Structure 1
Amino acid sequence: MDFKLTEEQQMLQDTAARLVRDAYSFEAREKHAKTELGYSAEFWQQLGELGLTAVPFGEEAGGFGGSGVETLLIMTELGRGLCLEPYLHSVIFAGGLLEQLGSPAQKDALLGDVASAQVQLAVAFEEPQSHYNLNDVRTRAEAVDGGWKLSGRKAVVIGGHSAGRILVSARTGGADRDEAGISLFLVDPGAAGVSRRSYPNIDGPKACDLFLDGVFVPADQLLGEPGNALPAIRYQQGRAIAAQCAESLGNMQEACDLTLDYLKTRRQFGAPIGKFQVLQHRMVDMRTELEQATSMAILAACVADQPDSAERSRILANAKFTCTRAGRFIAEQAIQLHGGIGMTWEYVLAHHAKRLVMLGHQFGDDDHHLKVYASLLEVA
């Protein structure tokens, strides 16, 4: 199999890498994190102007029809730069749901603006009790004249504090954990009955808890058929997991590079500590984990846009498990090899380590995906 990038893919990777390198220093990131928005509006606009936010969308929406491989190239560079912008949640996850379930009118109204970074979306699919179970939905949608009324609470909506529209999963039928009966709605955060409690996550990006108190949603803001949204949510979360593995990969690469540079420059007993064999072995272990994670991230990118199947689900669960375990190992080893400086707030490594840990918990941790993988094994 040929793993070489095409000329167009290499240009895409170079564009993303150059943009992050030139516009997203660690000092700039810290300033962006302290703003009310929580990320750089200018950088978000640059992503749109360069067409990077349009890459995953079809040409009919003003996109480039890129595959999971193109998404991997962009997300890896965003991970290396610790970028705070909600690319994964707005473009990949929410944008994918809108492209899959949206009516022609809904797509015409929003998809082009999402692809050009003029509108930011978010997905409210988690609840305080759900713990990675997409079918555990207690938010209710009641049919009323002209639309629906939504009531309930959504937790940890990444990018929800600044989103122009939020895609909310709500139950239109069935019991709290039933597979059927889950619908998806486009909710205006400014509508009556909507309130948000915003906060920064430990790894930098902001999120919010979303409270819905009898929120009226017009009938034309329902995505897809009532009660049948769960398969699409699971499929698009799979695409988001592949993109998240790529972001983890960028963080792991940077953590390894920072650690290697430190071993070459930090001196003990009159010599660089990188000359000590035991530390060389630990550095090799880090690179070995990185190579394994790289292979699985590439495989996940290759299957991300394939039709839903048990094999696709197995590969994505395996990739998330492998990247989570590798990310945690690399983060821990990098901090150990750095010593005390590895934990200081002013040093970028500590932020890569926190980001890797938190990415490992989003969309399911390693234990969750190990169970998913085991449940999908075929018995001969």
Structure 2
Amino acid sequence: MDFDFSDEQGLLRDSIERFCADAYPSLETRRRRAAEPLGFSADNWRRFAELGVCGLPFSEEDGGFGGGPVETMIVMEAVGRTLAVEPFFASTVLGATALRLGADAAQRERYIPGIVEGTLRLALAHTERQSRYDLHDVATQARRDGDGFVLEGHKSVVLNADAAGLIVVSARVSGDRRDPAGIGLFLVPADAPGLTVQPYPTQDGGRAAEVMLADVRLGGDAVLGDPESGLPLLRRVAEHGIAALAAEAVGSMSALHALTVEYLKTRKQFGVAVGSFQALQHRAVDMLIALEQARSMAIYGAMMVDAADADERAAALSSVKVQINKACRLVGQEAVQLHGGIGMTMEYLGAHHFKRLAMIEYQLGDTPFHLRRVADAGVLVAA
């Protein structure tokens, strides 16, 4: 099997890596970007759109650039390597995937041009206070009202919701709170009456928000697909999110490993560089092995995220998340240990990679959650 990038993918990699490196030359630059009103640079987002990144997942027929999971992997690895705070993951991966897979022709025609141009950003509101990682645990209600719906509920930790013009909201049309059936996905404009967004910074330098819906009235054209069969679509969106997070983690881990090795070469103890101590060399190699295993799993995730068999796809992406989570923890903790006290200093770039890796470990499912899914699927290899 050929794992080399095509010429077009190679050009995308070179351009996005160059752009991210120029946009984030230092930790101080990242801090300034994160301190802006929306939590990122509007100018950088415009440049993302000019590079074609915002329209990456959409087909050329819809005005996009016809990219796929591999192209998303390329962009997310560059984002992770530079700790870029622009909402590519929230908008172009999560929100746009829901729209791409669930929208009808009229919805695609209405929304995709703005997304491609960078003038419309999306957010996905699915987590609730009681739901943890269970996508089917939905208490937010969508009550039928003639041809439309009225939404009532509360969504938590909605990434970049305060910067979104359109929020994809999961809500229950019928059934009990944890029923798999009866869940719909709705397109809610950010200026809809009754919608309240309360933003806050996250521990890794990003942004999230609490989203409250009180008597939010939507027309029938706001529904993505079948209003009572939205859970399979939501699961597809989460799987694309896992594949993207895997690539971001690889980018962040590679940068953190490089920082650690460079520190070992320059930090002196007993008159010599600490990198000359064999025990520390072994630990740096352990970090590299975990990184390369994670890279393989990120590629596997990109290959499997569009697999036709839903059960096989779900087991594969849970396997990816388990390995990525373990690598994030090992690489992050080893980097802190090998750096010593500076590894937890907020004035040092490595500490921010550590924080981002710690957050990735718990996004879209922690290790026990996905390990249980892999075990339930019966695909664990016997010792």
TM-score interval, smaller chain: over 0.9
Equivalent residue runs for 1:251-270 within 5 Å: 251-270=252-271
Render the CA deviation track for 1:102-123: whole Å, top value 9, x for unaligned.
1111110101211232210000
1:379 and 1:338, CA in 2 relative to 1: closer, same or farther beyond 3 A? closer
CA distance in 2, matches of 1:163, 1:379: 40
Q: Do the aligned residues in 2 keep the contact of 1:61 with 1:115 (CA within 8 Å)?
A: no
**1: CA distance, partners of 2:30 / 2:290:** 27
The SS at the match of 1:152 is strand
Q: Is the 2:306–2:313 contact (alpha carbons within 8 Å) kept by the matching residues of 1? A: no
- Partner of 2:43, secondary structure, is helix
Partner of 2:301, secondary structure, is helix
Change (3 A) 1:289 1:116: same
Letter in 2 for 1:277: Q
- After TM superposition, the structure 1 stretch with the greater mean CA deviation from structure 2, 199-208 or 305-314, is 305-314
**Letter matched to residue 22 of structure 1:** D
Partner of 2:201: 200
Matches within 5 A, 1:170-319: 170-319=171-320
In the alignment, the residues of structure 1 paired with residue 272 and residue 218 of structure 2 have an alpha-carbon distance, to the nearest angstrom, of 67
Q: Give the ranges of 4+ consecutive aligned residues of structure 1 lying more than 4 Å apart after TM superposition.
A: none
The alpha-carbon deviation at position 303 of structure 1 amounts to 1.4
User: Per the alignment, in what secondary structure is the counterpart of residue 53 of structure 1?
Assistant: coil
Question: 3-state DSSP class of the match of 1:158?
Answer: coil
| Counterpart code for 1:94 | G
Q: CA deviation at 1:326?
A: 0.3
Matched residues, number = 380
Match in the other structure for 1:148: 149
Match of 1:323 in 2: 324
Identity rate, percent = 43
Query: 1:89-128, aligned counterparts within 5 Å?
Result: 89-128=90-129
Alpha-carbon RMSD across the aligned residues, in angstroms, is 1.3
TM superposition shift of 1:190: 1.5
TM-score, normalised by the number of residues in structure 1:
0.98
Deviation at 1:16, TM superposition (A): 0.6
Contact 2:374 2:380 in 1 (8 A): no
Q: Which residue of 1 aligns with 2:15?
A: 15
Alignment-mate amino acid for residue 93 of structure 2: I
Q: Deviations over 1:28-59 (max 9, x none)?
A: 11011112210111111111001112222111
Residue correspondence of structure 1 range 354-365 to structure 2 within 5 A: 354-365=355-366
Match of 1:24 in 2: 24
* Matched residue SS, 2:215: strand
Conserved? CA contact 2:181–2:229, under 8 Å: yes
**2:338 is aligned with what amino acid?**
L
- Cα distance in 1, alignment partners of residues 151 and 140 from structure 2: 7
Code of the aligned partner of 2:346: W
Letter in 2 for 1:335: V
Q: Is the 8 A contact 1:235 1:308 kept in 2?
A: no
TM-score (norm 2): 0.97
TM-superposed deviation, 1:101: 1.2
* TM superposition shift of 1:145: 3.0
User: Residue 2 of structure 2 aligns with which residue?
Assistant: 2
1:156-181 Cα distance to aligned partner (Å, 9 max, x none): 00011111010000000000000000
Mapped partners of 1:311, 1:190: distance in 2: 40
- Find the aligned partners of 1:102 and 1:5 in 2 and give their Cα distance: 30
1:134-156 CA distances to partner (integer Å, 9 max, x unpaired)? 00000001111341111010000
CA deviations 1:336-379 (Å, max 9, x no partner) are 10111111111110000000010111100111110111111169
| Contact 1:68 1:303 (C-alpha < 8 Å) held by counterparts | no
Give the equivalent residue in structure 2 for 1:377: 378
Q: In the TM superposition, what is the alpha-carbon distance from 1:308 to its structure 2 partner?
A: 4.2
1:34-183 pair list within 5 angstroms: 34-183=35-184
SS at match of 2:152: strand
Gaps of 5+ in 1: none
User: Is contact 2:199-2:209 (8 Å) kept?
Assistant: yes
Q: Are the aligned partners of 1:13 and 1:73 in contact in 2 as well (CA < 8 Å)?
A: yes
Return the letter of the residue paired with 2:282.
Answer: H
Structure 1, 337-346 or 50-59: larger mean CA deviation: 50-59
Greater mean deviation of Cα atoms: 27-36 or 166-175: 27-36
Which range moves more in the overlay, 28-37 or 285-294?
28-37
Deviation at 1:305? 2.2
